[in-house]
Structure 1
């Protein structure tokens, strides 16, 4: 491509400058370039005037986990599925990919899955940088007044964890993840094709188990040259328990109890059940806060009381008066515990007894009288 004067979209600044110098020399020698090379040269010369490739150099963070960057990239990642959205989380200090999650669209669930990977593997970071999507920040009146801001679900989860969430629409505010999106767009579609991946479930499993360790080993760095010697990048992650991850990464909403002592969610009715399995009847119009966890389970809280939500079916699945009687499913018996070999009734001891019994019977004529039929 370089010999033909073709500009690659993934080429580095050094290659662009070298190509521009070569095309200028060719223009001086030949006095005229073909159409394709002339267009490439004009594009390269226009970059110096427009400043397309000009990005200010910034220092990296000092500690691992001090600043995380999150973003989502819409692209044709898997052939045949159309455009999907890859949610990406990268560390600024080390360049490690800390989380990848592929979904059909950019959603809160996708960013929650990133947080689940980060919290479960590394811990609680110090700060997160994102763009100004409504998933992260929402101005009710379109103004930048903090007093009029409404805290989103993701921002509330970050505040519960003690993570500083900073949002800005400028791509230079989070350059690491913006550059990582370009690298991933050049790698992942071909790797998905080579691995025979055709569904989102297969893609997410491959990303977490195989691709992220490979990417971090290839592009990440756990050590840095500081103060005249190589040092390991220290971490500021704080350990987070699995129970805390499960309860904090939830979607919260408020519901009112109807006259049937139930609440409605997604056009379905749910009954409130306490820890003993007994259904609870709350007053009409009582307000409860419903939490939907990442695994899909639903819980409701009211006045420091927690209830599980049990779905109420729309109609009975069986009529005892019309439908024929159905045999009740038999309860599966618990498997019997395996008897140890040292027990006198074990299979091993029984086989030993049979062998010794056969031996004693074969030796019986040697030490017994003809009138005795049993040995001592």
Structure 2
């Protein structure tokens, strides 16, 4: 007699044992249905199949067959073709979203990840050992604490200039509150971003930043002084808070990593390659990002306050301010130039008074005394002082200087130049000549 070998899973072996107990009348069919987790009618079907076919009748009849919910070979080939062509550097999550939104191809992220690994498009990353920091709970209300930071990056992937993205993110919801591209991370960039924030949302309770010189005076000899940006937010009633480490403001740091991946690829798909076009399009991206990643706050309350300053007052607040003392002739010095106040009536009252010089970013100068603008005349126009740069804006100046130096040595040859007659490309630029190296005396060398 030939014995038949039946391959069964653990689940099917458990069913076999329960069905045998039911046939031996050790348990009822109702009890068998409860133990297996199926209906009594299905138990009766299994009993009948066991009587007719034996243990092999309890084996799943879908074994070895293609699942009904599997994708066709043509569907997979279409997806892989798009991934290798248009979305070669996209991660599985972002690629899955774009395949659904743009091409109408719907599949799960894990299925797409599996296909990308099999095709060599995506490589699984090992999780690094992370240092554990004390976890800080989110603020309960929307608008209480706003984390701010600047993210320098090649945002246009060589299609446009390198720049910095100023990021404002809500601590309670992780929602993007404001984004703005700027040539560098400067006081002007943060002030312009904050002014747009006030128009859209109102006044937050506090801003959480790093210890950069834009937000904090780091010179011990000038302890107690305020930077231009901190002076502006304190005037608005916003509390400045400085983080001791990047991990302390981890939400905005992680948002920067996400933006350097998603925002770069979104602008590539949109064909955006300059700062002006990008800033005009950013509100659309912010709305889609917040719908995808923002979380509801613990307390459904908006902590933003109304802006009680006029547009003229905001113009004074978001300017570069300096204190000056008037002489007996009502004159003062500012940026190597002499200014004199035009007195009306009893001008001697202003002698030795402290005035505030407000210079907007377009160069317009206002002189304030007791909150009111004074008329003035400029007498001496001296040389402009050399601007000071910090460790973040210095890269922009070096890149510009390098570009100017290279362009200085580029020479566009004439159409009948001998070099061009031997080349197929008529408009190819001539490489700049190498600068001669300074010769050294070998006798003076150590």
TM exceeding 0.5: yes
Distance 1:84 1:259, change over 3 A: farther
Equivalent residue, structure 2, for 1:71: 149
Q: Is the 8 A contact 2:143 2:170 kept in 1?
A: yes
Write the distance in 2 (CA, Å) between the matches of 1:181 and 1:311. Answer: 45
- What corresponds to 2:231 in structure 1? 156
1:140 and 1:150 in contact (8 A); partners too: no
The partner residue of 1:249 within 318, 332, 335 is: 318
Q: Deviations over 1:143-194 (max 9, x none)?
A: xxxx933211222222222221110231121111001101110122223333
1:273 Cα deviation from its structure 2 partner = 6.2
Q: Deviations over 1:87-115 (max 9, x none)?
A: 11100112221111211111011111221
Cα distance in structure 1, aligned partners of 2:378 and 2:273: 34
Contact 1:140 1:149 in 2 (8 A): no
Tell me the SS of whatever aligns to 1:115.
Answer: helix
- Alpha carbons of structure 1 residues 254 and 55: separation in structure 2 relative to 1, 3 Å: same
- 1:288 aligns to 2:361 (yes or no): no
Question: What's the offset of the Cα at 1:281?
Answer: 11
Shift of the 261–164 alpha-carbon distance from structure 1 to 2, 3 Å rule, reads: closer
- How far, CA to CA, are the matches of 1:240 and 1:92 in structure 2? 21
What is the total number of aligned residue pairs between the two structures? Answer: 274
Cα distance in 1 for residues equivalent to 2:305 and 2:371: 28
Counterpart check, 1:183 vs 2:258: yes
Answer whether contact 2:217 2:225 (CA < 8 A) is retained. yes
Q: Please, which of 286, 298, 309 is the counterpart of residue 212 of structure 1?
A: 286
* Counterparts in 2 of 1:268 and 1:191: CA distance versus 1, 3 Å: farther
1:306 shift after superposition: 1.7
* SS in structure 2 at match of 1:154: helix
Answer 1 or 2: higher relative contact order, Cα 8 Å, separation at least 6.
Answer: 1
Aligned-residue offset at 1:288: 3.3
In structure 1, runs of 5+ residues without a counterpart are 2-7, 20-35, 227-231, 315-376
* Equivalent position to 1:167, from 242, 251, 267: 242
Quote the Cα distance in structure 1 between the aligned partners of 2:334 and 2:274: 29
Q: Choose from 100, 121, 124 the match for 2:203.
A: 124
Q: Does 1:93 align with 2:172?
A: yes
Output one character per residue of 1:4-55: Cα deviation in whole Å (capped at 9) or x when no partner.
xxxx99799xx9xxx9xxxxxxxxxxxxxxxx9xxx99x84xx66x535x45
CA contact (8 A) 1:126 1:236 kept: yes
Instruction: Please state which structure has a larger fraction of its residues in helix.
Output: 2
Q: 1:310 to 1:81 in 2, by over 3 A?
A: farther
Q: Which residue of 1 aligns with 2:38?
A: none
Match of 2:304 in 1: 237
Separation in 2, partners of 1:100, 1:182: 14
What does residue range 347-362 of structure 1 map to in structure 2 within 5 Å?
Answer: none
* Aligned counterparts of 1:188 and 1:65: Cα–Cα separation in 2: 24
CA distance in 2, matches of 1:157, 1:124: 12
Over residues 214-250 of structure 1, what are the superposed CA-to-partner deviations in whole Å (9 max), with x where a residue is unaligned?
22222223x35x6xxxxx7211111004515333222
Mapped contact 1:246–1:294 kept (Cα < 8 A): no
* Aligned position for 2:181: 102
Distance 2:377 2:286 in 1: 38
Distance 2:286 2:342 in 1: 41
1:200 and 2:278 are equivalent in the alignment: no
CA distance in 1, matches of 2:327, 2:265: 53
Higher strand share: 1
Using structure 1 for the length normalisation, give the TM-score.
Answer: 0.58
CA distance in 2, matches of 1:266, 1:195: 44
Residues 239-298 of structure 1 deviation map (CA, whole Å, 9 limit, x = unaligned): 004515333222211356799977665667767568x9x9x9999987532112466542
